């Protein structure tokens, strides 16, 4: 169902800001696999974490669910009874394809996809929430408010999985940037594709440091924050209520 990502293969002239539109939806699995180090492990382990922290009679949320990869991983990981998973995304193109993947899946936990703005959607009775590579696209001034909403909706002992591209200090940033560039080159992206994608995403994706993420998660209402995974400049945190 997925095509190879060649969106930035030809010169664009003026590169438009990156958007999760129909063109990106068609190639998204290939794009994210070749662009985000450790993505497959982050998705798979989101299912493992869901198995550990899902509580009976609760909701699990996949916020900014795109094609539903994490939704399906959580669906297969959940062992608690009477749970449902709600995947929310503001891209109808992404959700249309997510429904196709869901139809092919054989697990039995109920899943509902909703086209909505995750910053406005009312969350409740949550035992596990995934926010994987999504907060970085939310305006800086709205990030704490969103995390407070998630924490307020999370049951005691529940958890948030937060995965993000990180920013680093002046000494480490060039090292991480060089490794990420070589990762993309090793996955078949040309320097032109890399440069044009960077131009498209620079004003849309705003990374922050690990310390900022941890401090904000605690300010939002989570009692414990653990960085459980990192591959180059991408990391995932487990925040426990």
Binding site for S-adenosyl-L-methionine: which residues? 39, 64-66, 89-90, 117-118, 132, 198
* Burial of 104 (C-beta count, 10 Å sphere; 0-12/13-18/19+): exposed
154 vs 109: CA distance, rounded Å: 19
The residue behind tokens 């948030």 is 160
Read off the tokens for 197: 């994608």
Determine phi and psi for 193, rounding to 5 degrees: -60, -45
The one-character DSSP state at 137 is: G
Other beta carbons within 10 angstroms of residue 21's beta carbon come to 13
> Contact at 8 Å (CB) between 44 and 75?
no
134 Cβ contact list (under 8 Å, min separation 6): 63, 64, 118
Other beta carbons within 10 angstroms of residue 202's beta carbon come to 12
Determine phi and psi for 137, rounding to 5 degrees: -95, -5
Cα–Cα nearest to 73, from 90, 98, 55, 97:
98
Known binding-site residues equal 39, 64-66, 89-90, 117-118, 132, 198
The angle at the Cα of 238, spanning 177 to 114, to the nearest 5 degrees, equals 90
């Amino acid at each position: 169902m997925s095509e190879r990502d060649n969106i930035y293969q030809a010169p664009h002239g003026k590169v438009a800001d990156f958007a999760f539109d129909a063109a990106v939806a068609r190639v998204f699995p290939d794009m994210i696999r070749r662009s985000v180090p450790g993505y497959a492990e982050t998705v798979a382990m989101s299912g493992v974490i869901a198995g550990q922290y899902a509580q009976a009679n609760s909701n699990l949320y996949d916020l900014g669910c795109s094609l539903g990869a994490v939704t399906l991983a959580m669906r297969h990981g959940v062992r608690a009874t009477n749970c449902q998973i709600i995947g929310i995304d503001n891209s109808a193109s992404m959700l249309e394809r997510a429904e196709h993947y869901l139809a092919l899946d054989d697990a039995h936990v109920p899943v509902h996809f909703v086209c909505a703005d995750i910053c406005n959607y009312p969350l409740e009775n949550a035992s596990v929430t995934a926010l994987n590579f999504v907060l970085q696209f939310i305006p800086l001034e709205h990030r704490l408010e969103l995390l407070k909403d998630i924490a307020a909706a999370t049951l005691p002992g529940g958890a948030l999985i937060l995965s993000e591209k990180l920013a680093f200090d002046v000494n480490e940033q060039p090292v991480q940037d060089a490794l990420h560039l070589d990762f993309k080159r090793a996955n078949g992206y040309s320097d032109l594709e890399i440069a044009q994608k960077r131009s498209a995403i620079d004003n849309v994706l705003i990374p922050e440091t690990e310390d900022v993420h941890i401090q904000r998660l605690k300010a939002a209402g989570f009692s414990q924050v653990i960085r459980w995974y990192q591959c180059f400049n991408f990391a995932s945190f487990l925040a426990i209520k």
